A and B are shown apart, each in its own frame.
Chain A
């Protein structure tokens, strides 16, 4: 069978990335241009600045990727692009570039949902086995997804309010940990003890999550301690918070595996880089004889390799877009 080379483009937030992936499992070349240092000056991603930086860099990143792969556009089978969800102004740049490339080179255009990309980052680690449960944890998502087969997604639960990564960043801000707070809270948690009485969020029989309650609990605790003139023990707060988050994520995910009688678990999204989450799932999956896959750390954050990988399976399924492909800020995978 002829090899399929997908050129993936990702620009949904603050990374301009282009990648070429062969047959959905072999990364040929990836370029990720992160804007994180710029946005760190503002304490978070500024959408208009992000859009401006994407447009400045998009063709440079495409060119660098092809150079690194030692390929030309003629070697490419199809072009995959993140069409949503994400920051609309940012998505537009990647989509417009992909549409234009598809037009000029007469290559199929494959729209990829950002979350499908995160899930398929795992196919670059080892071939995904089905059926599987995917836990997607990022700054914008907390979803439990059941996959019967390739590119079939059934949501079985998700966050009712804040995404887990969003909650990490807010807690970081409240306890004065600099941006990006999530990874630092993770690190701090190992230096502290679980001493603060935080609630276990939405500990019910559903597969849904809710993190606004624990966020408020942290805010209130910090506020009360400050009023009393007490100093917050940052590492203890980080440890207490992380323990509760890890507990509810693992509890509901492990229950889903049991109930759906599934032996494959993959974790995806930016927060899958969190060591507390990785460690606990590793321990539980060994104990319960579940095959666990987590993406390489470099593929946890936004990148185009995952888009090109998901793009391969979407391409195989015949998913195509026309030149009127619309970037969409909020769009459901299901």
Chain B
């Protein structure tokens, strides 16, 4: 069972090629700008380094948010086209859940992505990737209110001093989702967790 995972939801781009739970090749790096024009070469390199072609892939995992709107659209568009072309279903993955694969000796993980103005995209997972608080857009103080030392705060962004950088473990994620049915590629869509400003203003004025 060959799998491909694509995450362009943050500047920390992840592309992983696996055979069952065994990572064959992985790209996991910070990209400062212009992910769009770099991502296809990264995917190609990961496949080539794994001695595979895109047509060999059985399962496609695509991080569809939350995160950078443009970023998740890039990953989702690629995922949709690959899935449609190869006639494969897509398994949508939360960026926050992927961050929660970070190894810790604490009981819970709070993954966070900076959403500006004091807000984060955040959630709470346990170390077995069970979701205790769904992905949401929330004020950081509200999310972290009463959270004691049982919680590991994980983020690529320097939101606070006690935040640790994610250490992604794709095998752990795939293990959790290897039996997911997945969805029709046409129905794979970004999970923005936020309306556009224009829509919000329109709702307010109604």
Binding site for B on A (CB under 8 A): 41-42, 46, 48-49, 51-52, 55-56, 58-60, 62-63, 73, 89, 92-93, 95-97, 99-101, 103-105, 323-327
Q: Report yes or no: A46 in contact with B198, Cβ–Cβ below 8 A.
A: yes
Q: For the complex, what is the distance from the CA of A27 to the CA of B18, rounded to whole Å?
A: 42
Q: Report yes or no: A63 in contact with B40, Cβ–Cβ below 8 A.
A: no
Q: Which among B78, B81, B192, B202 has the greatest number of chain A C-beta atoms within 10 A?
A: B81
Q: How far is the CB of B130 from chain A (nearest CB, A)?
A: 30
Q: Which B residues between 52 and 93 are near A, CB-CB below 8 angstroms?
A: 54-55, 69-70, 73-74, 76-78, 80-82, 84-86
CB closest chain-B residue, reference A43 = B198
Partner-contacting stretch, out of B94-102, B111-119, B149-157, B182-190: B182-190
Q: Report yes or no: B81 in contact with A97, Cβ–Cβ below 8 A.
A: yes
Chain A positions within 8 Å of B37 at CB level:
324-326
With contacts A96-B74, A104-B81 known, what are 12 further pairs, Cβ within 8 A? Answer: A49-B196, A49-B199, A51-B73, A58-B80, A59-B80, A59-B185, A93-B73, A100-B78, A104-B54, A104-B86, A323-B44, A324-B38
Q: Is B193 an interface residue (CB 8 A)?
A: no
Q: Report yes or no: A95 in contact with B36, Cβ–Cβ below 8 A.
A: yes
Q: Is B34 an interface residue (CB 8 A)?
A: yes
Q: For the complex, what is the distance from the CA of A104 to the CA of B189, rounded to whole Å?
A: 21
Chain A positions within 8 Å of B54 at CB level:
103-104
Q: Report yes or no: A92 in contact with B189, Cβ–Cβ below 8 A.
A: no
Q: For the complex, what is the distance from the CA of A99 to the CA of B81, rounded to whole Å?
A: 10
Asked if A49 meets B74 with Cβ closer than 8 Å, knowing A97-B81, A99-B40, the reply is no
Chain B positions within 8 Å of A103 at CB level:
40, 43-44, 54
Asked if A100 meets B81 with Cβ closer than 8 Å, knowing A323-B40, A324-B37, A325-B37, the reply is yes
Q: How far is the CB of B152 from chain A (nearest CB, A)?
A: 33
Chain B positions within 8 Å of A326 at CB level:
34, 36-37
Q: How large is the interface on B (under 10, 10 to 19, 20 to 34, 35 or more residues)?
A: 20 to 34
Asked if A96 meets B77 with Cβ closer than 8 Å, knowing A56-B189, A323-B44, the reply is yes
Asked if A97 meets B77 with Cβ closer than 8 Å, knowing A46-B196, A105-B85, the reply is yes
Q: For the complex, what is the distance from the CA of A16 to the CA of B80, rounded to whole Å?
A: 15
Tell me if A's interface is mostly helix, strand, loop or mixed. helix
Chain B positions within 8 Å of A60 at CB level:
186
Selected A-B contacts with CB under 8 Å, 27 pairs = A42-B202, A46-B198, A51-B70, A52-B190, A52-B192, A55-B76, A55-B77, A55-B80, A55-B190, A56-B189, A93-B73, A93-B77, A96-B36, A96-B74, A97-B81, A100-B40, A100-B77, A100-B82, A100-B85, A103-B40, A103-B43, A103-B44, A103-B54, A104-B55, A104-B86, A324-B38, A327-B36
Chain B positions within 8 Å of A104 at CB level:
54-55, 81-82, 85-86
Asked if A62 meets B76 with Cβ closer than 8 Å, knowing A52-B190, A103-B54, the reply is no
Asked if A62 meets B84 with Cβ closer than 8 Å, knowing A46-B196, A100-B78, the reply is yes
Q: Is B197 an interface residue (CB 8 A)?
A: yes
Q: For the complex, what is the distance from the CA of A205 to the CA of B70, rounded to whole Å?
A: 45
Q: For the complex, what is the distance from the CA of A101 to the CA of B198, rounded to whole Å?
A: 32
Q: For the complex, what is the distance from the CA of A219 to the CA of B8, rounded to whole Å?
A: 46
Nearest 5 interchain pairs by C-beta: A323-B40, A100-B81, A46-B198, A48-B196, A96-B77
Q: How far is the CB of A143 from chain B (nearest CB, A)?
A: 27
CB closest chain-A residue, reference B54 = A104
Q: How far is the CB of B198 from chain A (nearest CB, A)?
A: 4
Q: Report yes or no: B40 in contact with A324, Cβ–Cβ below 8 A.
A: yes
CB-contact partner of A89 in B73, B76, B84, B198, under 8 A = B73
Asked if A41 meets B202 with Cβ closer than 8 Å, knowing A48-B197, A93-B73, A326-B37, the reply is yes
Chain B positions within 8 Å of A63 at CB level:
84, 186
Chain A positions within 8 Å of B81 at CB level:
58-59, 62, 96-97, 100-101, 104
Q: Which among A62, A103, A326 has the greatest number of chain B C-beta atoms within 10 A?
A: A103
Q: How far is the CB of B112 from chain A (nearest CB, A)?
A: 23
Q: For the complex, what is the distance from the CA of A46 to the CA of B69, rounded to whole Å?
A: 14
Q: Report yes or no: B44 in contact with A89, Cβ–Cβ below 8 A.
A: no
Q: Which among A46, A55, A92 has the greatest number of chain B C-beta atoms within 10 A?
A: A55
Chain B positions within 8 Å of A327 at CB level:
36
CB closest chain-A residue, reference B184 = A59
Q: How far is the CB of B128 from chain A (nearest CB, A)?
A: 32
